[in-house]
Amino acid sequence: MSINLRGKDPVIIAGAGPVGCTLALYLARQGIPVVMFEAEAELPEDLRASTWHPPTLDMLDELEITEELLGTGLKVPNYQYRDRRTGEYADFDMTVLSDATRHPYRLQTEQFRLTRIVCRILEGMPHAEVRFQCTVDNVAQDDASVTVTINTPGGREDVRGSLVFGGDGANSAIRRKAAIDFEGFTYPEKFLVASTPYPLEEHFPGLAWVNYIADPEEWCVLLRCNNLWRVLFPTPPGMSNDALLSDDYIQGRLHFLADNDEDFEVDHRTLYNVHQRVAKQYRIGRILLGGDSAHVNNPLGGMGMNGGIHDAVNLAEKLMMIDRGDANDDILDLYDRQRRIICKKFVQEQSIANKKAIEAQDPESHKKQQEKYMKSAADPELSRPFLMRTSMIDSVRESYEIT
Ligand SMILES: Cc1cc2nc3c(=O)[nH]c(=O)nc-3n(C[C@H](O)[C@H](O)[C@H](O)COP(=O)(O)OP(=O)(O)OC[C@H]3O[C@@H](n4cnc5c(N)ncnc54)[C@H](O)[C@@H]3O)c2cc1C
Domain count, the chain: 1
152 occurs within a structural domain? yes
Ligand 1 center–CA 76 separation, angstroms: 22
Residue 233 in domain: no
17 Cα–ligand 1 center, Å: 6
Q: Which of 337, 353, 335, 339 is nearest to 390 (CA)?
A: 353
CATH code for position 173: 3.50.50.60
Q: Which atom of ligand 1 is nearest to the CA of 304?
A: 19
Residue 347, ligand 1, Cβ within 6 A: no
Cβ–Cβ under 8 Å, residues 313 and 329: no
20-34, 90-104, 209-223: least confident range: 209-223
Please give the distance of CA 276 from its chain centroid, rounded to a whole number.
Answer: 13
Is 221 a member of any domain?
no
Cα of 127 vs centre of ligand 1, distance in Å, is 25
Residue 19 lies in a domain: yes
Check if 379 has its Cβ closer than 6 Å to any atom of ligand 1. Answer: no
| pLDDT bucket at 366, cuts 50 / 70 / 90 | confident
CB of residue 292 inside a 6 A radius of ligand 1: yes
What would the mean pLDDT of 372-401 be, rounded to a whole number? Answer: 97
Q: What does the alpha-carbon distance between residue 245 and residue 261 come to, in Å, rounded to a whole number?
A: 21
CA distance 88 to 82: 6
CA atoms within 13 A on the CB side of 111: 23
Per-residue pLDDT of 294-316, as tens digits, reads: 999 999 999 999 999 999 999 99
pLDDT at 232: 96
37 lines ligand 1 (CB under 6 A): yes
Q: Tell me what the mean pLDDT of segment 130-143 comes to.
A: 97
- pLDDT at residue 125 above 90? yes
User: Does 279 reside within a domain?
Assistant: yes
Rounded percentage of the chain residues whose pLDDT exceeds 90? 92
Q: Mutate which of 305, 314, 348, 354 to test ligand 1's pocket (most atoms within 8 Å of Cβ)?
A: 305
**Quick one: which atom of ligand 1 is closest to the CA of 290?**
26
| pTM flag (> 0.95) | yes
Confidence of residue 91 (pLDDT cuts 50, 70, 90): very high
Listed in sequence order, the residues at least 6 apart from 132 whose beta carbon sits closer than 8 Å to its beta carbon are 16, 38, 40, 41, 42
Residue nearest to atom 38 of ligand 1 (CA): 168
pLDDT band at 363, cuts 50/70/90? confident
Can you give the pLDDT at residue 355?
A: 92
Q: Which residue among 111, 149, 164, 226 has the greatest number of ligand 1 atoms within 8 angstroms of its CB, and so is best to mutate?
A: 111
pLDDT, tens only, 323-349: 999 999 999 999 999 999 999 999 999
Classify residue 224: in a domain, yes or no. Answer: no
Which of 13, 19, 48 is the best mutation target for the ligand 1 pocket, counting ligand atoms within 8 Å of the beta carbon and taking the most?
Answer: 48
C-alpha 283 to ligand 1 mean position (Å):
20
In a domain, 59, yes or no: yes
CA atoms within 13 A on the CB side of 283: 18
Half-sphere exposure of 113 (CA within 13 A, CB side): 21
Cα of 60 to ligand 1 centre, how many Å? 17
Residue 204 located in a structural domain: no
| Ligand 1 atom closest to Cα of residue 308 | 26
How far, in Å, from the CA of 47 to the mean position of ligand 1?
Answer: 10
- Residue 152 belongs to what domain range? 11-76+105-183+275-359
Tell me the CA distances in angstroms from 64 to 60, 118, 128, 171, one per residue in order.
6, 10, 17, 30
Number of the ligand 1 atom closest to the C-alpha atom of 272: 53
| Whether residue 44 has its Cβ less than 6 Å from ligand 1 | yes
